[in-house]
Amino acid sequence: MKIAVCRNREREESLAIQSALCEALAKEGVDFYLATDALLPQTDILCVLGGDGTLFAYAHLALAMDIPIWFINAGSVGFLAESSEDLPARAAQIAARRYTIAERDLLEVKAGDARYTALNDACLMRDTSRLQTVTLTATTCDETVARYRGDGALVCTPMGSTGYAFSAGAPIVAPDGQGMLFVPIAAHSLSARPVLFGPSAVLTLSCQEGAELFVDGVNRSHIGDVVEVRLSQRKVRFVLTEKPSFFAKISTKLL
């Protein structure tokens, strides 16, 4: 087994966790290396040390090689991450292949000729250089879902429902749920509300004044006025060495 280890280089605490993890993996005889921009051939697992932002920065490496991600919390919230405690025991589980794999949905985002993959969300926002609302329309199957003035709209996976969507007033969806969630952002309307769509839905977001696209928090710059979002046929896979504690994290991190 070969594991690539990457971390959030802007957080000092991630360095200490990386050192402890590497020591634990070495004691178990696990082949590992420190990765930055690329992965070596025959890599079996990508281990990400950081918060959700670090995961978004490195996940494309795992997706490109179709390998699972072992995500260890070294950030602040870390809804998707495992604890950094008891790393020797976790390393022993990895070495013995005593772990489970959880699959999570991804979004496929189309903006003009550009294509993006999102773990959490895609967000169509007003021009952030001006404090002015825009007119947004969401449609599916030629049917209008919502039309309103506001700051923007986002579409998220169940995994992304605890991110920006949560701050925008959306409900929490269990990470193993199916479908995608449409969420108006700062809508100047009483009728614009979050809507959960099924796995086969295709949602089109349009902005009358033009807008900016953010994919997992990364600004993809001004892209015009139409974005199409659907669930990807691909899945992101996570290595789990502990029993998932999603609702325990909700109670400790959001209350």
Residue of 52, 105, 151, 225 marked active site: 52
Rounded CA-CA distance 157/70 in Å is: 19
Rounded CA-CA distance 160/106 in Å is: 10
Helix (H, G, I), strand (E, B) or coil at 199: coil
What amino acid is encoded at 132 in this protein?
A: Q
What amino acid is encoded at 14 in this protein?
A: S
- Catalytic residue status for 225: no
Which residues contact residue 46 at a Cβ distance below 8 angstroms, ignoring those fewer than 6 apart? 3, 4, 6, 35, 39, 58, 61, 62, 65, 67, 68, 69, 70
Q: Where are the beta strands (DSSP E) in the chain?
A: 2-7, 31-34, 45-50, 69-73, 100-111, 114-118, 121-125, 134-140, 143-150, 152-156, 180-185, 195-197, 202-215, 218-240
Rounded CA-CA distance 223/30 in Å is: 45
71 phi and psi angles, rounded to 5 deg: -105, 115
State the pairing for strand pair 218-240/202-215.
antiparallel
Q: Which residues are catalytic?
A: 52
